[in-house]
A and B are shown apart, each in its own frame.
Chain A
Amino acid sequence: MGSVTRKKTLSVIALSAMIGLLLLPIIVAIPALASGGGEPAAGAPPAEAAQKEGAAKIEKARDVYYKTEGIVSGAPAPKTADNAQFYPRYNFESRVLLWFANQQHLYYGSFVLAVPIFCMVIEFIGVVTKDKAMAKKYDQLAYDFIKISLTAYSLTAILGGILIFTFLTLYPAFFGYLSSIFRPVMHIYALMFVAESGTLYIYYYAWDKMKEGLMKWLHLSMSVVLNVIGTLLMFLANSWIGFMMSPAGVDEQGRYLGNIWHVIHTALWNPLNVHRILGNMAFGGGVVAAYAAYRFLSAKNDEERAHYDWMGYIAMALGVAFLIPLPFAGYWLMREVYAYRQQMGITLMGGLLAWLFIIQATMIGILFLSSNYYLWQALGRMRGAERFQKWIKYFVFILVVGFLIFITPHTIVMTPAELKAMGGQQHPVLGNYGVMSAKNGGINVIITTTVLTFIWYMRGNKVPAVSWSKFGNIFMGVFFFFAYVNIIWLAIYGYYIPANVRVGLSVPQVATTLSCLFFMTALNTVMMKGAKQLGPIEWGKISVRSQYALIMLATAFTWMMGLMGYIRSSVRLFWHVNEIMRDNSPWAYTHTVGFGANMISFNVLFFWISIMFVFWLGTLGAKKAPVEAKVPVPGRAPEPAVGH
């Protein structure tokens, strides 16, 4: 007993030392970061030379965003010209090469940042679950998740290398300027990447060694460390794109003013962080769900089918849980864009890039329709859920109406003759369609219906047994009814009030939807405690169509991510760094919608072909059936991760 305790203590010390060593570079780097990176940015005179020249030479300038004064500590942004010195090139469009490298790195980066978060959640559920069989199932599931992300992690690093080489070789002036501003951030980023890799490998390879008692909790803590590092990595990378869109911490010539926090904390940094976290989680859930669908479709026996059905369900549920708040984070980002530069917002949503938002709306609609379709199909694996089938057609009707309103464009592409015949860009009748007031109503109706579908799914094979169940059901029905009424009322009300008042209506609309999500889900969870079971959940007994819905969901996520990245990047138009460093390459123009769509599709195709390879690699090491992934005993339903 004593030797076991000693062994455990030594393991804990070893693990702590290892994590400490991994985090040491970051701790060492913090003072440098706090002092603004130590050395001045590129082009600035060395510290000693500056001292000799005396204090009289110190030049001050005003921050373009914070409007504070700071000591000029860097060179101005380079003024580039269309030549090989600033833009070395192959006989091909450099921007397309960079687009490809960037997008692939982002896809894999998002995936490997999201999956460990799922893994942490599922492993935690496994640790706190009292039912030992279920605990083992959750543990196996978390292990399956991390196994997929491990191979993808190597690819992410390789793609990151390719991206840096592409920047260095095709856009050296721009990359030189960016790295001169972000030098300390980039170093910390690299060190954190080392820490992330080390933690991930220990986390994965120590899985079996640390499977019980205190060691399991330590293993779980390691996943927290892993995710904290991963999230900080993403925040740092976001600061670069935030700076490119809404620069801060520099003067109007682009000279660094010595405050690294201003450079990082730009106007769009926080909205980008929130939007990207949610987006990554939804995307990661989608990809894992597609993996599970692939394994389900290729399963050789019922046992495997049951396991991968369950895995697909959990991944989808996690993905959709983050998909629901995603449009709201998107609204916040857009509001901040408008607040930063109104013209930028207009370019995005009412000008050059507006049609891409119609495509985005279509993709969002497809995501929600696919999620709902999957849940309706999933009702089929529950005995007792047949009673809900007759209502699905009404849900389809509501979703389709919301979808059609959401994707309706405000203006259409017209020839000058058509424009003249119509009497202007706005048709007297059709001009009423496609305005944001109506669109907000459309998407909120879609999301509220998805929440309702999910609540019905949670009730699939159960009947509430609490004494006040009748009141609970009626209250829930009335609450949803008035939520729909409120959303639609606000959408109509928007037509009758001025634009400056109307713009605020989206907030109570969102709050109405979120009220349904949080209050009704909570009420339903309370009502389902001790609920009467009508029959078991028969994992694996689900239609094949449902698995294609999961693949559709994942593909739509991937396509939309590519689209939104393109929109976000394109809004800078002919600027590398907005209003600071001009893009003078021959490719500083906005592509046609068709070209953009083809490029996004190519990126999506490439990602899915490569990730299929990763999936296939994952199957090589796991030819045997999953541990403890048995088909549930009839009459006793295993509980999936989301409290159902």
Chain B
Amino acid sequence: MILTNPLFWFALLGLGVVVLVVGKKMGLLNNTAFAVGVSVVIAVAYFHIVDHYLMDMQGLDYWYLFRK
């Protein structure tokens, strides 16, 4: 499942940052819909990466339930 692959969340985080930079150049930063969208993408991707890697560092599988 793609959701259990940390690379997917890294890609999403990267996408969020790229869109943020592009949005800044286009003067979209203070557009509410743009700000909410980018923030959600970055925050969700970031917390998934945190959950995945901090469990992985302990030798545990964060996606245990999803894999079963």
Interface residues of A (CB under 8 A from B): 467-471, 474-475, 477-479, 481-483, 485-486, 490, 493, 496-498, 500-501, 504-505, 507-508, 511-512, 515
Contact A474 B39, beta carbon cutoff 8 Å: yes
Taking CB atoms, residues of chain B closer than 8 Å to A469 are: 30
Interface of B is mostly: helix
B35 is an interface residue with CB less than 8 A from chain A = yes
Residue from the list A477, A498, A508 in contact with B51, Cβ < 8 A: A508
Contact A504 B60, beta carbon cutoff 8 Å: yes
Contact B51 A490, beta carbon cutoff 8 Å: yes
Please, how many angstroms separate the alpha-carbon atoms of A504 and B55 in the complex?
6
Instruction: Given contact pairs A505-B55, A507-B55, enumerate 11 new A-B contacts (beta carbons under 8 Å).
Output: A469-B30, A470-B29, A471-B30, A474-B35, A475-B35, A477-B39, A482-B40, A493-B65, A504-B60, A507-B57, A508-B54
Please, how many angstroms separate the alpha-carbon atoms of A580 and B43 in the complex?
51
Residue from the list A482, A490, A507 in contact with B43, Cβ < 8 A: A482
20 contacts between A and B (CB under 8 A): A467-B29, A468-B24, A468-B30, A469-B30, A470-B35, A474-B32, A474-B39, A477-B39, A478-B36, A482-B43, A483-B47, A486-B51, A498-B64, A500-B60, A504-B60, A507-B55, A507-B57, A508-B54, A508-B62, A512-B47
CB distance from B66 to the nearest CB of A (A): 10
Contact B35 A501, beta carbon cutoff 8 Å: no
Contact A486 B47, beta carbon cutoff 8 Å: yes
Interface of A is mostly: helix
Taking CB atoms, residues of chain A closer than 8 Å to B30 are: 467-471
Taking CB atoms, residues of chain B closer than 8 Å to A483 are: 43, 47
Please, how many angstroms separate the alpha-carbon atoms of A485 and B47 in the complex?
10
CB nearest neighbor in B for A493: B65
B18 is an interface residue with CB less than 8 A from chain A = no
Contact B35 A471, beta carbon cutoff 8 Å: yes
Q: Knowing A486-B47, A512-B47, A512-B50 touch, does A474 contact B60 (C-beta < 8 A)?
A: no
Taking CB atoms, residues of chain A closer than 8 Å to B46 are: 515
Taking CB atoms, residues of chain A closer than 8 Å to B55 are: 501, 504-505, 507-508
CB nearest neighbor in B for A479: B43
Contact A474 B36, beta carbon cutoff 8 Å: yes
Contact B65 A496, beta carbon cutoff 8 Å: yes
Please, how many angstroms separate the alpha-carbon atoms of A477 and B42 in the complex?
13
Contact B61 A470, beta carbon cutoff 8 Å: no
CB nearest neighbor in B for A478: B39
Interface residues of B (CB under 8 A from A): 24, 29-30, 32, 35-36, 38-40, 42-44, 46-47, 50-51, 54-55, 57-58, 60-62, 64-65
CB nearest neighbor in A for B24: A468
Taking CB atoms, residues of chain B closer than 8 Å to A478 are: 36, 39-40, 43
Please, how many angstroms separate the alpha-carbon atoms of A505 and B61 in the complex?
10
CB distance from B45 to the nearest CB of A (A): 10
Contact A479 B39, beta carbon cutoff 8 Å: yes
Q: Knowing A504-B60, A507-B54, A508-B55 touch, does A482 contact B47 (C-beta < 8 A)?
A: yes
CB nearest neighbor in B for A482: B43
Taking CB atoms, residues of chain B closer than 8 Å to A497 are: 64-65
Contact B60 A508, beta carbon cutoff 8 Å: no
CB distance from A347 to the nearest CB of B (A): 24
Taking CB atoms, residues of chain A closer than 8 Å to B40 are: 478, 482
Contact A511 B39, beta carbon cutoff 8 Å: no
Please, how many angstroms separate the alpha-carbon atoms of A483 and B32 in the complex?
20
Closest 6 CB pairs of A and B: A478-B39, A482-B43, A474-B35, A470-B30, A504-B60, A471-B29
Please, how many angstroms separate the alpha-carbon atoms of A505 and B47 in the complex?
13
Please, how many angstroms separate the alpha-carbon atoms of A597 and B44 in the complex?
44
CB nearest neighbor in A for B36: A474
Taking CB atoms, residues of chain A closer than 8 Å to B58 are: 504, 507
Please, how many angstroms separate the alpha-carbon atoms of A493 and B68 in the complex?
14
Please, how many angstroms separate the alpha-carbon atoms of A490 and B60 in the complex?
14
Taking CB atoms, residues of chain B closer than 8 Å to A470 are: 29-30, 32, 35
CB nearest neighbor in A for B57: A507
Please, how many angstroms separate the alpha-carbon atoms of A529 and B62 in the complex?
39
Residue from the list A468, A475, A498, A511 in contact with B54, Cβ < 8 A: A511
CB distance from A538 to the nearest CB of B (A): 33
CB nearest neighbor in B for A468: B29
CB distance from A552 to the nearest CB of B (A): 34
CB nearest neighbor in A for B33: A474
Taking CB atoms, residues of chain B closer than 8 Å to A485 are: 47
CB distance from A487 to the nearest CB of B (A): 9
CB nearest neighbor in B for A498: B64
CB nearest neighbor in A for B46: A515
Please, how many angstroms separate the alpha-carbon atoms of A484 and B22 in the complex?
29
Residue from the list B43, B50, B64 in contact with A508, Cβ < 8 A: B50
Please, how many angstroms separate the alpha-carbon atoms of A470 and B29 in the complex?
8
Taking CB atoms, residues of chain B closer than 8 Å to A508 are: 50-51, 54-55, 62
Contact A501 B64, beta carbon cutoff 8 Å: yes
Taking CB atoms, residues of chain A closer than 8 Å to B32 are: 470, 474
Please, how many angstroms separate the alpha-carbon atoms of A475 and B61 in the complex?
29
CB distance from A484 to the nearest CB of B (A): 11
Contact A501 B60, beta carbon cutoff 8 Å: yes
Q: Could you say which of A474, A501, A515 has the most chain B C-beta atoms within 10 Å of its C-beta?
A: A474
Residue from the list A471, A496, A498, A511 in contact with B50, Cβ < 8 A: A511
Please, how many angstroms separate the alpha-carbon atoms of A481 and B24 in the complex?
23
Contact A475 B65, beta carbon cutoff 8 Å: no
CB distance from A519 to the nearest CB of B (A): 9
CB distance from A34 to the nearest CB of B (A): 35
Please, how many angstroms separate the alpha-carbon atoms of A313 and B36 in the complex?
35
Taking CB atoms, residues of chain A closer than 8 Å to B60 are: 500-501, 504
Please, how many angstroms separate the alpha-carbon atoms of A443 and B64 in the complex?
24
CB distance from A517 to the nearest CB of B (A): 14
Q: Knowing A470-B29, A497-B64 touch, does A475 contact B51 (C-beta < 8 A)?
A: no
Taking CB atoms, residues of chain B closer than 8 Å to A501 are: 55, 60-61, 64
Taking CB atoms, residues of chain A closer than 8 Å to B38 are: 475
Please, how many angstroms separate the alpha-carbon atoms of A226 and B10 in the complex?
46
Residue from the list B24, B44, B61, B64 in contact with A482, Cβ < 8 A: B44
Taking CB atoms, residues of chain A closer than 8 Å to B61 are: 501
Please, how many angstroms separate the alpha-carbon atoms of A475 and B32 in the complex?
10
Taking CB atoms, residues of chain B closer than 8 Å to A482 are: 40, 43-44, 47
